[in-house]
Amino acid sequence: MRSDSPRTVVAALIFQHNRLLICQRRPSDAFPNQWEFPGGKVGPGEEPAAALHRELSEELGISAEIGRQIWRTDFQYPGRAPVHLLFFLVFNYKGTLENRIFQQICWESPQHLPEYDFLAGDRSLIQALASGELEADLRSG
Closest listed residue to residue 74, CA positions, set 86, 62, 63: 86
pLDDT at residue 136, as a whole number = 72
Query: Tens of pLDDT along 18-47?
Result: 999 999 999 999 999 999 999 999 999 999
Contacts of 91 (CB under 8 A, 6+ apart): 14, 15, 65, 67, 141
List the beta bridge partners of residue 90. Answer: 14, 66
Q: Which of 1-15, 48-62, 109-123 has the lowest mean pLDDT?
A: 1-15
What domains sit in the chain, N to C, each tagged with a CATH number?
7-136 (3.90.79.10)
Mean pLDDT score across all residues of the chain: 94
pTM for this predicted structure: 0.93
Q: State the pLDDT at residue 76.
A: 95
Give pLDDT, residue 103: 98
Residue 139 has pLDDT above 80, yes or no: no
pLDDT at position 1 over 60: no
Q: pLDDT band at residue 140, thresholds of 50, 70 and 90?
A: low
User: If phi over 0 gives left and psi between -120 and 50 gives alpha, with beta otherwise, what is residue 88?
Assistant: beta
What pLDDT sits at residue 40?
97
**pLDDT tens column, 63-80:** 999 999 999 999 999 999
Whether 141 shows a pLDDT value over 50: the answer reads yes
